[in-house]
Amino acid sequence: MNYTAEAPAVWDPAFADADDCLLSTDQCVVRAQHYFVKGLIEMPVIGSDEAFSWGVWVSLSRQSFSRASDLWDRPGRETEKPYFGWLTTDLPVYPATTLNLKTRVHTRPVGERPFVELEPTDHPLAVEQRTGISLERVREIASAVLHAGDGEQR
């Protein structure tokens, strides 16, 4: 129960050959000025032991990105305090844009994607993260994402 964005909303395929740009499965740099990490927005599924998650990109400051990169393969990195970031994935299943929502990126043990905690606002995505979603809502999301061709089921 996971859908993921392949790149931040600001990524352009033309950047792929640029020396000052990078797109990997976990990190992205655009023009050596904008820095992103991939993480998971997880939402409990009501009545289930499973969670639904969005694989999303979050922009970090240069300093936070550098620190996260330095610790990327270091055991114990999960003790790092969360990094502030801006959500840079547009999830079109929500009536209001999800771009630029405030987040806190929580590092997890090596090999696990960071947990992305949304600022507790009244945005529907933030509400769903706090309160959980029904299995029917999971089906709605799956149908919308698959029909739109956005994201990739994992």
pLDDT tens, position by position, 9-60: 999 999 999 999 999 999 999 999 999 999 999 999 999 999 999 999 999 9
Identity at 59, one-letter amino acid code = S
Residue numbers of the domain that contains 133? 2-153
Q: pLDDT class for 146, splitting at 50, 70, 90? A: confident
Total tally of structural domains belonging to the chain: 1
- What lies within 8 Å, CB to CB, of 40 at 6+ separation is 2, 53, 54, 55, 56, 113, 114, 115, 116
- Residue 136 half-sphere exposure toward CB, CA atoms < 13 A: 0
Count of Cβ atoms closer than 10 Å to residue 55 Cβ: 20
